[in-house]
Amino acid sequence: MDDRTSPRLQRREVLKWFAAAAASAHLPDCCQEAQAAVPAVKGYGTDPVLANVYKPGDFWPLTFTPEQRLAVTALADVVLPEDHLGPAASTLRVPDYIDEWISAPYPAQQKDRTALLPGLQWLEDESKKRFQGSFASLPETQKHAICDDICGTGTVKPQFKRAAAFFSKFRSLAASAYYGTDAGWKAIGYVGNISLASFDGPPPEVLAKLGIEQTVK
């Protein structure tokens, strides 16, 4: 039986996560368990129309509750904020892509779901415990105070190990989505995916910086 058809396995994963979190400090709300079960939907199949433009939700229903969406949006914008390199993650629909990801019926995504949803719950509980508010409602300094404990800089304290794994996964997913957009491409310095009349190779300043010459004449 694979992960897709095994709600029991999924629950076991979730419980494991909770057990670790409980051992570390406090017991999160176990209502998450029901939501972490597998949605009974199919993937996009082996012969989808490839030439269309799609958006999250086109192939399977999304998961986040309004509260989860608020937390994801807030965290995505902390991870990838508006700055001199480009817009904030939420303006590029990054929360939608994360929702699409954890809602997908495939094993790898289902596995991430079991890290992401309890992780979000931990984030909310931690925010309430430390600062008496939901994560999205906190001022930037308090959001950063929590993120600094779990972002992976330096040594992560034992009680934050699971939360740190969640943050790492979240950052990776958010970046995967952010850099798959036009604005994300500008932010990272990708200037392709446009038709050109000729391909001229690297420009002179690149050749000079690397100390190379074009050898194909």
Of 63-102, binders to another protein (CB under 8 A) are 78-81, 83-86, 92-93, 97, 100-101
Residue among 34 and 191 whose Cβ is closer to another protein: 191
* Window 166 to 205, contacts with another protein (CB under 8 A): 168, 171-173, 175-177, 179-182, 184-185, 187-203, 205
Quick check: 47 binds another protein (CB under 8 A)? yes
Task: Check residue 13 for interaction with another protein (CB under 8 A).
Answer: no
Nearer to another protein, 18 or 95 (CB): 95
48 is an interface residue for another protein by CB under 8 A: yes
Q: State yes or no: residue 141 binds another protein (CB under 8 A).
A: no
Write out the chain in H/E/C secondary structure.
CCHHHCHHHHHHHHHHHHHHHHHHCCCCCCCHHHHHCCCCCCCCCCCCCCCCCCCCCCCCCCCCCHHHHHHHHHHHHHHCCCECCECCHHHHCHHHHHHHHHHCCCHHHHHHHHHHHHHHHHHHHHHHHHHCCCHHHCCHHHHHHHHHHHCCCCCCCHHHHHHHHHHHHHHHHHHHHHCCCHHHHHHHCCCCCCCCCCCCCCCHHHHHHHCCCCCCC
214 counts as binding another protein under rule CB under 8 A? yes
